[in-house]
């Protein structure tokens, strides 16, 4: 009966309709956490095999975690069934068809499970937040007048000349219609969203409320609803994409980080790889991550199954668990201040800290590093430090480009590579790469324990 009630509700809301499509994907019923309600999922595995993956890109999560350096108040919004805000073309409706004990149906609004659904939604929410194209006249006619007034849009028929509006076809999307948004409707927040998750910060409470008001009107225009139970408003810190954002900086979400604390050492190579993969999401919080994890990366399935001497691997496993539980607070990068690079290398890895100075103390902004390859293992330790600096410049290029960089190093090789006219071999491409950057190289003396210990 619960499936019947759910199907009837979807029909009443105009989210699905009866279908005569040649496609018919099966449904899967999942019990929700409360043990009473159900969630209907559709098994689109066969359909997805025939769908060509869209080239639209999802934003990089690290790019969404910056831009909060001056914020004091925060909000995070989670959209309520955001995919349902998107109309399906006639062709897409046929492909989305599913069967259940009560008949054959197809989606009128975009469902979850189709291969390109997240990318299509990302395109729509990006357009909503940045204001590139507007709704076609026939869809804009359904928008409430107070929304159009707030956005300063004329009612369809008065704003866009009819001869400039492409004809509507059954297969066209809002982007193929390509009706440009008026120039006064620019970015609403100056930030992107990761699919249906939006985070934003403001300098003052009034500014946050004003930004929220503008955002909600823009979401109403695109018929996108906000899930109040899953959203946070006017907070000093917010959870966002498994991170905690506050005025002080970002840290790994405590509950998720502590979830690894009681994990036993894996019995298979796949288990080890799964553990390392989960930590890769947080590697920017873990100092010397490649150094500690190197032993685990070198494990083979045979070594684990035969239970040979795994003492070093188990020790590395425990160290990583402790490090992820006690992840430090990373300061928000501030592009108005110089960045500090502190490289560190040993026999098998090159690591570095990217930080910024506050009150005479260097606070970490990000950590990075990598394991050295066979050829690099034979390099002098000074050359390995150069590799660590190059790693920072490569990984955080978009973050630090155009900013002054202060590099604390124990050797003079870095400065020599940049200034020398007689350098050869691998030092030549290194010098060319480094010359692009505004580097202030400062050699650390042995008696300066604070930095010489790196």
Confidence of residue 172 (pLDDT cuts 50, 70, 90): low
Cβ contacts of 177-182, under 8 Å, gap ≥ 24: 177/133, 177/136, 178/133, 179/133, 179/134, 179/135, 179/136, 180/132, 180/133, 180/134, 181/131, 181/132, 181/133, 181/134, 182/134, 182/152, 182/153
Q: Are residues 362 and 421 in the same domain?
A: yes
Q: Are residues 192 and 259 in the same domain?
A: no
Mean pLDDT, residues 17-37: 87
Can you tell me whether residue 368 is helix, strand or coil? strand
Q: Are residues 94 and 59 in the same domain?
A: yes
pLDDT tens profile 52-72: 999 998 998 889 999 999 999
Q: Is residue 159 over pLDDT 70?
A: no
Question: pTM, whole model, 2 decimals?
Answer: 0.82
Q: Is residue 453 over pLDDT 50?
A: no
Q: Are residues 321 and 365 in the same domain?
A: no
Q: What is the dihedral of CA 58, 60, 66, 71, to 10 degrees?
A: 30
Q: Are residues 87 and 19 in the same domain?
A: yes
Q: In this predicted structure, what is the pLDDT of residue 429?
A: 86
- Tell me the pLDDT of the chain averaged across its residues: 86
Q: In this predicted structure, what is the pLDDT of residue 81?
A: 82
Mean pLDDT, residues 103-124: 93
pLDDT tens profile 206-219: 999 999 999 999 99
Instruction: Specify if 81 maps to a domain.
Output: yes
Q: Are residues 287 and 353 in the same domain?
A: no
Q: Are residues 317 and 200 in the same domain?
A: no
Q: Are residues 293 and 355 in the same domain?
A: no
Q: Are residues 310 and 431 in the same domain?
A: no
- Quote the number of domains for the chain: 3
C-alpha gyration radius of the chain: 27
Residue 396 DSSP class: T
Q: Are residues 116 and 16 in the same domain?
A: yes
Q: Is residue 156 over pLDDT 70?
A: no
Among all chains, which residue has been given the structure tokens 């990984």? 395
Q: In this predicted structure, what is the pLDDT of residue 447?
A: 53
Confidence of residue 256 (pLDDT cuts 50, 70, 90): low
Contact call for residues 6 and 77 (beta carbons, < 8 A): no
Instruction: Specify if 163 maps to a domain.
Output: no
Q: Are residues 93 and 230 in the same domain?
A: yes
Contact call for residues 118 and 195 (beta carbons, < 8 A): yes
The whole domain housing 314 covers: 254-325
Last residue of a domain, one of 325, 347, 379: 325
Report the CATH number that the domain containing residue 415 is assigned in CATH: 3.10.20.370
Q: In this predicted structure, what is the pLDDT of residue 454?
A: 42
Instruction: Specify if 85 maps to a domain.
Output: yes
Instruction: Specify if 205 maps to a domain.
Output: yes
Q: Specify the range with the lowest mean pLDDT, choosing from 34-43, 125-134, 184-193, 407-416.
A: 34-43
Instruction: Specify if 138 maps to a domain.
Output: no
Instruction: Specify if 278 maps to a domain.
Output: yes
206 vs 350: CA distance, rounded Å: 46
Instruction: Specify if 373 maps to a domain.
Output: yes
Report the CATH number that the domain containing residue 193 is assigned in CATH: 3.30.70.270
Instruction: Specify if 288 maps to a domain.
Output: yes
Q: Are residues 208 and 234 in the same domain?
A: yes
Q: In this predicted structure, what is the pLDDT of residue 449?
A: 46
Burial code of 198-224, b = ≥16 C-beta within 10 A, e = fewer?
Answer: bbbbbeeeeebeebbeebbbbbbbbbb
């Amino acid at each position: 009966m619960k499936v019947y009630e759910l199907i009837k509700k979807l029909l009443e809301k105009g989210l699905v309709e009866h279908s005569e499509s040649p496609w018919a994907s099966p449904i899967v019923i999942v019990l929700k956490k409360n043990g009473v309600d159900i969630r209907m999922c559709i098994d689109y595995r066969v359909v997805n095999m025939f769908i060509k993956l869209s080239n639209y890109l999802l934003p990089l999560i690290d790019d969404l975690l910056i831009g909060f350096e001056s914020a004091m108040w925060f909000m995070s919004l989670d959209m309520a069934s955001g995919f349902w805000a998107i109309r399906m073309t006639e062709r897409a409706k046929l492909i989305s068809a599913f069967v259940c004990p009560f008949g054959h149906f197809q989606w009128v609004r975009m469902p979850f499970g189709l291969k390109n659904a997240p990318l299509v939604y990302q395109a729509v929410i990006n357009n909503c937040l940045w204001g590139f194209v507007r709704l076609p006249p026939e869809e804009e006619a359904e928008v409430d007048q107070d929304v159009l007034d707030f956005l300063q849009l004329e009612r369809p028929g008065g704003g866009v000349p009819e001869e400039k509006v492409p004809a509507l076809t059954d297969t066209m999307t809002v982007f193929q219609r390509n009706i440009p948004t008026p120039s006064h409707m620019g970015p609403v927040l100056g930030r992107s969203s990761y699919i249906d998750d939006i985070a934003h910060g403001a300098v003052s409470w009034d500014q946050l409320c004003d930004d929220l008001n503008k955002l909600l009107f823009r979401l109403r225009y695109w018929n996108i609803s906000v899930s109040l139970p899953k959203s946070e408003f006017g907070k000093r810190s917010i959870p966002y994409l498994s991170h905690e954002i506050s005025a002080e900086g970002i840290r790994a979400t405590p509950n998720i980080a502590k979830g690894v604390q009681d994990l036993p050492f894996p019995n298979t190579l796949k288990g080890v790889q799964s553990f390392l993969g989960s930590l890769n999401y947080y590697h920017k919080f873990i100092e010397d991550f490649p150094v500690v994890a190197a032993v685990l990366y070198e494990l083979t399935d045979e070594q684990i199954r035969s239970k040979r001497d795994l003492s070093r691997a188990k020790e590395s496993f425990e160290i990583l668990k402790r490090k992820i539980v006690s992840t430090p607070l990373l300061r928000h990068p501030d592009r108005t201040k110089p960045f500090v690079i502190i490289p560190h290398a040993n026999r098998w890895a090159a690591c570095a800290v990217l930080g910024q100075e506050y009150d005479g103390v260097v606070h970490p902004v990000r950590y990075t590093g990598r394991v050295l390859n066979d050829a690099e293992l034979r390099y002098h330790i000074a050359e390995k430090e150069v590799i660590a600096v190059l790693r920072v410049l490569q990984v955080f290029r978009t973050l630090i480009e155009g900013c002054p960089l202060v590099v604390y190093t124990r050797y003079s090789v870095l400065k020599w590579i940049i200034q020398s006219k007689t350098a050869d071999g691998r030092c030549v491409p290194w010098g060319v790469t480094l010359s692009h950057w505004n580097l202030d190289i400062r050699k650390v003396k042995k008696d300066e324990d604070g930095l010489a210990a790196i």
